[in-house]
Structure 1
């Protein structure tokens, strides 16, 4: 899938591990947007990113990986019809449509897989660029968890639950 900005999203494989780690490492080390250990090591981070029930993807522009996502079932059993996803982009991706391409791809892929909705369980409220983008692509804030995230600079900040019904899903 190629987005209007020229970002091409495709399934990720072992050949993408180094590029994905280059993107995830500074995000995880900063500790401002993900509930991951700030000192997580490469192999553990990649194992988590590629772990079932998630499928990993990368977004490239001109053959360079500038973003990554993973998409899969939010929960098992009675919650398995709702997808979840995580996203990260390289600083060089800013303003190039990479995050939007990953978000749109995640929604389309999830709908084709039979998911009826997508939920983001824990969007850090201070991650305003992400919150704005998710709202632009159709997600609504349906819940707020007061002080649920311990931000390394701001202390306890809210985490948001965001949700969107997926259209065009197979019946």
Structure 2
């Protein structure tokens, strides 16, 4: 697997799994009917932020991540990132590879920490992955996410120093 900078033409490969993940409503606080144009605007970030894709041996885009500062101004020393992996590719270590890539990017760019502001509390796979990478749950906002199956669940704020 190769992780590389996302090119504009990658959106057509990202959109099908991006759309499926968002429309399922279980992991991202995006509108379920998010359009491709708005999805691209929100996901493909301009420099100095970064958006990457994970590409398999056949050249197929199988995952993506974006990286940014968590807050502007006096909070700009903390990075943040988001990840999407094609559900057909789950269990292959793509999420871990993308997360490790973003941590390396943050370190190389002088960030002091990485923080995730909205990890859905019942997204057990993501929480387990992030904890294994050294993130701690520093708080949970009760009932801040309306899950399509489980109803109102918490959103974790997760943090790790770099």
In the TM superposition, 1:124-135 aligns within 5 A as: 124-135=120-131
The structure 1 segments of at least 4 consecutive aligned residues displaced by more than 3 Å after TM superposition are 51-54
Are 1:30 and 2:24 matched, yes or no?
A: yes
Confirm whether residue 61 of structure 1 aligns to residue 51 of structure 2. Answer: no
Correspondence for 2:155: 159
User: What displacement does 1:114 show?
Assistant: 1.0
Other structure's SS at 2:129 match: helix
TM-score by length of 2: 0.95
- Cα deviation digits, residues 49-104 of structure 1 (max 9, x gap): 01346311111111211100000100000100000100000022211111000000
Could you state the TM-score of these two structures normalised by the residue count of structure 1? 0.90
SS at match of 2:26: coil
Instruction: Name the counterpart of 1:93.
Output: 89
2:140–2:154 CA contact under 8 A, matched in 1: yes
| Partner SS state of residue 15, structure 1 | helix
How many angstroms apart in 2 are the aligned matches of 1:61 and 1:51? 22
**Secondary structure class of the residue paired with 1:29:** helix
Do structure 1's residue 48 and structure 2's residue 48 form an aligned pair? no
SS at match of 2:29: coil
8 Å Cα contact 2:45/2:66 also seen in 1: no
Q: Determine the structure 1 residue equivalent to 2:109.
A: 113
Match of 1:148 in 2: 144
Encode CA deviations 1:133-160: one digit per residue, 9 max, x unaligned. 1111111111111111111121110110
**Residue aligned with 1:101, SS:** helix
Partner SS for 2:51: strand
Q: CA RMSD in A?
A: 1.1
